[in-house]
Amino acid sequence: MNHQKSDSYRRPVSRRTVLLLAGIPLLVASGCGVRALDPAGPAAAAIANLWRVMLALSIVIFVGVMATLAVAIWGRREDDEGRREKVGRHLVVIGGFLLPAIVILGLMAYNTYVSVDLEKPPSAPALTVSVRSNQWWWHVHYPDHDITTANEIHIPAGQSVALQLTSDDVIHAFWVPALQGKRDMMPDHVGHLWLQADEPGTYRGQCAEFCGRQHAKMEFLVISHEQEAFQSWVEERQAPRPELSDEQALRGEDVFMEYGCGDCHTIRGSDANGELGPDLTTLAARRELGAGTVANTRENLGAWILNAQAFKPGNLMPPVSMPDEDLQDLLVYLETLR
């Protein structure tokens, strides 16, 4: 009677279901983009190695569980009841307690080691950069060089850079996947992080904490230069603002002030000293507008000035109505800001 009952429950799960479950790790591994696992700095490399260890252990454990499940489904059923009960107890004790405890404790120890190691840069920081997050853009300041920009962080390659992170409104999170892990940015609190890019290049960063309507359009760029190129970048930003000689650019500067742009934005060397919006001193040299929303082209810049809400609804810049002649003069002036 017992033998007949055992036969009736011989295959509670189909082979197709088991094979599908066993293939999940392969699907996950194939879906992981190579770029996401291609670190460009020592901090990101340590984090990537931790992830790979966790993935490898997860696959081994998953395969072990699937193998145990297969044995339970298709294993021999004619074994005596006592032997099955004994084997079951061993599986519960070893597979359900001892092995998970060893794996979890090992991962906790390795994670702690990596976390502590990430707190200190491999060398003394070459410079300090202050980054303040806003809804939805990034204020970037170099206190040692008196340089202010927005949505771009320029650093020398192969050298550590100390970051001071804070927020102007809500909680944001600073994240450059290719260079470093995430770090929360909170109002009235200065957090600390470091970056290092092994090679010159451009690395995209993103706010990693949901911060409102345009959270997805709150990106920034970390641009790593060779040492000489970085020094040239610093010297160009520190140089006095050249006098305008082009008549259209001069009219554009007047348009900038007449329409109240200087009440919200700062342009070093001019009467514009607003702090509500991004510093525009080097606007023309930036690659993107609106914290990664669109490319910095003349057409996009003009459309952004007239109605930034069409690109990024909810941002603090209101629509501006101005004649086309004034707009063209203003664009010529803004294109001189490098």
Q: How far apart are CA 40 and CA 323, in angstroms?
A: 47
- In angstroms, the CA 144 to CA 279 distance is 18
Say whether pLDDT at 209 is over 60: yes
Average pLDDT, the chain: 86
Highest mean pLDDT among 10-19, 20-29, 296-305: 296-305
- pLDDT tens sequence across 220-239: 999 999 999 999 999 999 98
| pLDDT 10s digits, 79-109 | 555 566 666 666 667 767 777 788 888 888 9
Among 201, 152, 200, 161, smallest CA distance to 180 is for 161
Tell me what pLDDT residue 69 has.
Answer: 72
Instruction: Provide the pLDDT confidence category of residue 118 given band limits of 50, 70 and 90.
Output: confident
Residue listed under structure tokens 């970051």: 163
The label of the residue with tokens 């340089």 reads 147
Give the separation between CA 245 and CA 237, rounded to whole angstroms.
20
Predicted model pTM: 0.80
331 compared with 32, residue with greater pLDDT: 331
In the chain, what percentage of residues exceed pLDDT 90?
64
What local confidence, expressed as pLDDT, does residue 212 receive? 93
Rounded to an integer, the average pLDDT of 180-195 is 94
Q: What is the pLDDT, as a whole number, of residue 248? A: 95
Q: Name the residue among 269, 268, 313 with its Cα closest to residue 290.
A: 313
- Across the range 280-284, mean pLDDT stands at 94
Q: What is the pLDDT of residue 10?
A: 43
